[in-house]
A and B are shown apart, each in its own frame.
Chain A
Amino acid sequence: MSIEFNRSYKIQKILKSDQNAEITDRLYDLGFVEGLEVIVEKRMPFGGPWIVSSTMIYVALRDEEFQRLELV
């Protein structure tokens, strides 16, 4: 799915991975849960982190971290 910036999305699912389980746990810590509305603000240059905001947090997520959020 191609992501549009400055648009609101809903987190449908937070994907788990055995490779680095702590990423998912930390996403929970930061307030990311299924059903949360988030805005994808932008992506930093040269393949850098994504900036995601919600009522919970304004945060920079690495691509592999951002990809754990299944957005609709």
Chain B
Amino acid sequence: MNIHTSRRQILKGTGSLVVSFSLAGPIGEALAQGAAAPKPVALTEVDSFLAIDAKGFVTVYSGKVDLGTGVRTALMQIVADELDVPMNNVNLIEGDTATTPAQGTTWGSLTIQAGGVQLRNAAAAARIALLEEASKRLSVKPAVLKVTNGVVSAGGKRVSYGEMIGGKTFSLKVDHAKPPQSKDPKDFKLVGKSVPRVDIPGKMTGTFTYIHDFRVPGMLHARVMRPPAIGAKLQSVDETSIKNIPGAKVVKEGDFLAVVAESEWNAIRGARLLKTSWSKSETLPVQAKLWEHIRGTKIAKDEEYGKVGNSAEALAKGAKKLSATYDFAIHTHGSIGPSCAVAEFKDGKLTSWSASQATHNLCTQLAKMLGLTPENVRCVYLEGAGCYGRNGHEDAAADAALLAKATGKPVRVQWSRADEHGWDPKGPPTLIDLRASIDEAGNVTAWEHESWIPQQTPNGFLVPLVAASLTGLPADEHIAPGNIFQNSAIGYKFPNTKSVCHRLETTPFRPSWIRTPGRMQNTYANECFLDELAAATNSDPIEFRLKYLDPADKRGIEVLQRLIALAKWEKRASPRKNVSGNIVKGRGMSYVKYELVRTYIGTVCDVEVNRTTGEIRVPKFYLVHDCGQIINPDGLKNQLEGNVIQTLSRTLIEEVKFDRAQVTSLDWETYPILTFPQVPDIVMDLIDRPSEKPWGAGEPAAAVIPSAISNAVFDAIGVRVRSVPFTPEKVKAAMKGAA
């Protein structure tokens, strides 16, 4: 396949894309079980991260994976630039526990910030070593050496990387705490450029291999059959009910049930037709009383963040007091391709192929479930449909591993849409109370944030595997919603502040992290309530924020100033005056410094609210974004657009529905998402700071979206919406309540 040649031809005509590339290498090598040569994977070894062959071709090993964001290309750019080799001489292997270093879960918009910087460090160490070697071979000082396309030269003398290191190891340490000197940003050739994504041509022509396309010889297809209610027990299975389906067999272990067959359709038919009976189980709260249930749930512990002064005392003395409650619904991940995995047992060793965002953690979990040592489990990443956190991939991997063990054959498990909507771990319900006081001069004197969110149990972010729970095999009994306390504290300099997170013992569904976990919910409540304070003091929302930002935080202030210019922000207090007509326009804004320590983002959005139907339309967003050094501007824009649109969907529409037994929103009709007619225009100002660290980008942008919308709705109609999703019914109820 010679796709990059044709690609170059295409690009000639357009002039819009700057650099050619190769497809991400022959995938087969990474996939063949047992084919991986022993290589180091320790984070302290250069050889863990890269290898250069005799032809100068660079293979990069990344523990961080591309979850459909395009970050694969950015990682390749970082390494290619640091080594001064062309992009199409670089290949990237991702998330293979046998060959890639354990760089941690791919989450938190940390792939470039943490993983990419480690790759850069390794490449910098390699470059220094290669220049030293070239200096010896060419008998010139390192300072006069130049590197072009992997060839080191000085005067008329030259030696290539391939000649020096080809096929050999570096056997060199890299200390990420004291990293080697990397390239001067002024010499970047690829970093900072919109290099076209290496995966896109294959995805547009049906030649890219997703996990869903992966096949192993002799493989069986499987469909799992989940209980009709959470906690229901399997009482009987009538295997004769599928006796007419060729090759269909039932696999049963505890309450874990699946149908396997040689053909996928026969497995599907078997799972549809198999007669079963289950016990009744009603473990969920009544959805209409969800928030009372959350407020009444037993607290495991309280965590306090951002404590300054004495907020309780200051609140008691305040001339004007405000309080409000914000809630944020339970969400499903909703990947367009339901979870899928393949597993094979050979000689007592398990190989698992999946789209897991954390293959190293998955390896630990599969080993525990099946009583294997982790050395006998290899987990290999293959891209799935868009993954926005810990969704069902790990569970499908556990299903496949269990079935491969039970059947003695390789097994591919493909979840149905209902499996995905019903059984992926959920973004937990979030309830937040806010209180503040204002003195007679209109200054904020106290701020309190109090939230009810599930606990994060100690010892790790291992979400229990469904298969382990249903079979009764050893499971991780963790409650792991992620670091959802983040951004509960605020960056505004009020004299008395406190955030208390009540970490609850339980939450209605198995929780996990979905894009911008906690940071989105906390920023939503905080930035909405801040807007309430601005309105209460008749202040312009941006000016109000600037008044309380740390004056030393120049980058944050610049983001807000550039936002004023980008959006042509008109200085005034909300709500708008002299509103008339049925469809009313409004404008709101929001700002966050992600986790109070990294990426800055400010947004303005325009809304139109229909006062009869309660419908909110959001025609336009403006974003100003500072993530420091930008690796790939077009990739960044793509991620920002995606985060805005996805979060608009979550804010206006999305909500998991359930009865006392289970999830009832099991398809796209009952769990609708945003569609094309509702898509907004997005205008961006990306601040690039090539000399700064490359911070995470993507999910920080999602953090500000719900609050900007709520604030814009208030600007339009003078009424606050404080319950995500902002459905027409809730908007109408809020208007009625205010009338």
Whether both chains belong to one complex is answered with: no
